[in-house]
Structure 1
Amino acid sequence: MAQDRIIIAGGGIGGLATAIGLAQKGIRSLVLEKAPELGEIGAGIQLGPNAFHAFDYLGVGDAARNMAVYIDNLRLMDAISGQEITRIPLDDAFRTRFGNPYAVVHRGDLYGVFLRACRDHELVELRTNAGVADYDQDDTSATAILESGERVTGRALIGADGLWSNIRKRVVGDGKPRVSGHTTYRSVIPVEDMPEDLRWNAATLWAGPKCHIVHYPLSGWKLFNLVVTYHNDAAEPVAGKPVSHDEVRRGFEHVNPVARQIIEKGKDWKLWVLCDRDPVMNWQDGRVVLLGDAAHPQLQYFAQGACMAMEDAVALAHQMEACSGDATRAFPAYQDMRRLRTARIQLQSREIGDHIYHASGAHAELRNAVMSARSPEEWYNMISWLYGSTGLDGAVSSETMRNRNA
């Protein structure tokens, strides 16, 4: 029985999505999570239509839709003038074009959808206090070597163990992540604490020189998610460090007072220094493969980190079925299906952060002029490569995926 299972290192959104995707194909898995409890830290996540394509394929579409907040627009504001630059309507025309809605959710709510699905499925086993330090393999199996020294064997191993992946150390060996120099501060506040004139049903981004501010509603309009980012050339990775209001204010003295009040309303701010890695074209070593941030960590500027991990889970489950459960054939096919799409998001996320959201002077004025002139249809054409995809390069249509739950 143990030899039939797939070992998944990492119990985050990508790991759990992969486990439930495999289970839908009749494939048993064991998820190994290093933390003592299964859960997610963080706050809000934006979900494009491609995320809903993945939910449907993975059999959790109804549960995901029930916990989402459906917003009306994506709004881009000038953080200096306080004026709107452009907006992308997320109305019926958007849904018709891309086959699914755009929504925002609390990360914990999204995680709970996959955790409940995994706990309810007899083919998924979850284990905590089981950090994977290394692996070994032979012609028929792969073995996860835990931090405790224990060895856990299955027929293959999927490294979904995040930015600092120990599996990636062996598969790719590219050292530490790249530090972007961008620092993000996050807070979640009750909706009544949000300034009334900013309680927009939108994912709003205020773009300013070397900084930007994001806000949107969460959890059935009970909360507002606040994310402010400052390009302060931070040199070392930091994750989840509590910081004072004064530290958060430091990068935003120059922005419009309307946008700046968001910082004043934030509570219990925490800091992350953003990191990513350069794209690589090989994620596989025999019976071992990478997934999610272990394979293609990206900056936050496309709001696609969780979405790409879910698409990975879809593609991997699809290829395992297509290859009759043979990981040595399925893993290269999965990798080929995913690597250019995820590389594009990695590289363009850097460009957006540096040259669109954080522009100044003539560059910012040109951005405003070009982006304000685009019609909704022109915006839809520009983003169709991202939101119109199922993650399978057309192997499975979004309608087919939606019908899997029918």
Structure 2
Amino acid sequence: MSIVKEVPFLVVGGGIGGLATALGVAATGRSVLVLEQAPEIGEVGAGIQLAPNATAVLSQLGVMEELATHAVFPQRLVLMDARTGQELSALDLGDAFLEKYGHPYIVLHRADLQQVLYAACQANENIQVLTNQGVTAVEDLGDRAQVTVTDGTTYLSDAVIGADGLHSKTRQLFSGDQPICSEYVAYRGTIPMAEMAAQAGTNMDDVIMWIGPHLHLVQYPVRRRELYNQVIVFKSFRYKENSDDWGTPDEIDEHFGSCCASVRHAVSYISRQRRWPMYDRLPISNWSKGRVALLGDAAHPMLQYLAQGGCQALEDVACLTHFLRVFGDDYAKAFASYQEDRIPRTASVQTNARLWGETIHTVDPLAVYLRNQLMQQRSPADTRYVDWLYSRQYP
């Protein structure tokens, strides 16, 4: 026998975007129910980078002070040549950067971010989070929205936000598209800082990206510098559609064996037990219908090369919250205005993430030479190339 429950506002997905959405919506005076399919709230993965456009939102949500106790505030973003070991470029994240953007650049463990958001939701009497809630269907009924879960329960709500990630069920209401595999794969994890000897020519407080043909390595400290986060990414030349027999651990040494000693040393610490194939989707022209809208990776999944996936989800939250305040209970207008603001912005970030991936992974000798020359000529204080990302903030 099916059960029908009525709730004022419903969020599908209890990840970073979904929990942040609940906090933002609750701050407008609404009661919120979050449905998460996993048996418990927890983040799989390792580190996350949050630029000022994201930390501004976390400050608005009232969690930045607690996050600061878990985070690391890096000194620089550094681009290194994975083959030669040469520093190509850097961006200073010190006082001038903070003065310009008003909010810091931080790095932290994804689990720490999610747990801080979850704790804030648990402490808010207007938010309820339910786990083991696999969603099978989302519908806009005109005067209400309807969400059905695997146990047969049906939720009727005044509004629904689909924050259910790359493989979103909610997105099916708007598009029949499928995730696009980049043919790149990631291996990631953290190790105790004590086990990671400082590498020649690098600062363990920096966010370092080593780039090379069809590969890169990202490194930075997390969890109050107790752990060192590392992610290696490479293109598999054995890619097979609908198969897991590609991007396998034996390919790691094929790709990184010709890199400099520092990179080879770092790669030796990478856990090879789990791989993450890298997907995105093409931008879509609509992600709201009446009382239903998408947010985060459900709306605009992007490749990780600009470190903006989580940041753009948090921007979504700030924008959505703003229009909920403006339009009150007129959800159709609030959602339409939200997507009108966000779609051009997120489509640009999605597109540029792909382009930046092609730039850092290029194998063309002329392209490598020109890229490196341009990088080496810029000043560490020059924010022109990131200003369009970091300066966007919502009221």
Residue 72 of structure 2 is matched in structure 1 by 69
Which position in structure 2 is the counterpart of 1:160?
163
Match 2:344 to one of 324, 333, 340: 340
The count of corresponding residues between Structure 1 and Structure 2 is 388
Q: CA offsets, 1:24-51, max 9 Å, x none?
A: 1101111011111111111000110111
The RMSD of aligned alpha carbons is 2.0
1:106–1:88: structure 2 CA closer, same or farther, 3 Å change rule? same
State how far apart, in whole Å, the 1-side matches of 2:197 and 2:290 are: 54
Cα 1:56–1:238, aligned 2, differ >3 Å: closer, same or farther? farther
1:201 counterpart SS class = coil
Shift of 1:361: 1.6
The match for 1:140 among 123, 140, 143 is 143
* 1:64-103 correspondence runs (5 A): 64-103=67-106
Aligned positions of 1:10-25 closer than 5 A: 10-25=13-28
Instruction: Encode CA deviations 1:114-145: one digit per residue, 9 max, x unaligned.
Output: 10010000110111111111123323211101
- Which of 217, 224, 227 is residue 228 of structure 2 equivalent to? 224
Q: Is the CA contact 1:232–1:251 (under 8 Å) kept in the aligned structure 2? A: no
Distance in 1 between residues matched to 2:99 and 2:76, nearest whole Å:
15
Matches of 2:92 and 2:273, distance apart in 1: 30
Using the TM superposition, give the Cα deviation of residue 67 of structure 1 relative to its aligned residue in structure 2, in angstroms: 1.7
Residues in 2 aligned to 1:75 and 1:141: alpha-carbon distance in whole angstroms: 49
* Letter of the 1:105 counterpart: L
More helix by share: 1
Query: Where does residue 320 of structure 1 map in the other structure?
Result: 324
1:263 corresponding residue in structure 2: 267
Instruction: Decide which moves more: 364-373 or 261-270.
Output: 261-270
Whole-Å Cα distance in 1 between the matches of residues 38 and 65 of structure 2?
29
The one-character-per-residue Cα deviations of 1:285-341 (angstroms, maximum 9, x if unpaired) are: 211111000000000001011111111111111111110132111100111111111
Residue 253 of structure 1 corresponds to 257
- Which residue of 2 is the match for residue 400 of structure 1? none
Q: What is the TM-score with the length of structure 1 in the denominator?
A: 0.91
In 2, Cα distance between equivalents of 1:359 and 1:5: 53
* CA deviations over 1:322-373 (Å, ceiling 9, x no partner): 1013211110011111111111110011111112344442211111101110
Decide which of 371, 376, 391 is 1:367's aligned counterpart: 371
Letter paired with 1:184: A
Aligned twin of 2:314: 310
Deviation at 1:207, TM superposition (A): 0.7
Alignment of 1:175-324 (within 5 A): 176-197=178-199, 198=202, 200-233=204-237, 234-236=239-241, 244=249, 246-267=250-271, 269-324=273-328
Give the Cα separation in 2 of the matches to 1:289 and 1:119. Answer: 24
Residues 73-116 of structure 1: CA deviation (Å, up to 9, x unaligned)? 00100111111001111110111111111110000000011100
Matches of 2:229 and 2:344 in 1, distance apart?
31
Letter of the structure 1 residue corresponding to residue 109 of structure 2: H
> What secondary structure sits across from 2:147 in the alignment?
strand
- 1:187 to partner: Cα distance: 2.0
Instruction: Supply the distance in 2 between the matched residues of 1:325 and 1:376 (Cα, whole angstroms).
Output: 47
User: Is 2:54 the counterpart of 1:51?
Assistant: yes
| Corresponding residue SS for 1:275 | strand
> Does the aligned pair in 1 maintain the 2:47–2:110 contact within 8 Å?
yes
- Counterpart CA distance in 1 for 2:29 and 2:127 is 10
123, 129, 132: which one aligns with 2:132? 129
Normalised TM-score (structure 2)? 0.94
The alpha-carbon deviation at position 236 of structure 1 amounts to 4.2
Which deviations, in whole Å up to 9, do the C-alpha atoms of 1:227-283 show, x marking residues without a partner?
0110125344789x9965x44323212211221111112235521110000011200
Q: Extract unaligned runs of 5+ from structure 2.
A: none
Partner AA of 1:208 in structure 2:
G
**What is the distance in 1 between the residues matched to 2:362 and 2:326?**
44
Distance (whole Å) between structure 1 residues aligned to residue 11 and residue 118 of structure 2: 14
Identity %: 39
Report what 1:404 is aligned to. Answer: none
Q: What is the alpha-carbon distance in structure 1 between the residues aligned to residue 214 and residue 375 of structure 2?
A: 19
Q: Any conservation in 2 of the 1:28–1:124 contact (CA below 8 Å)?
A: yes
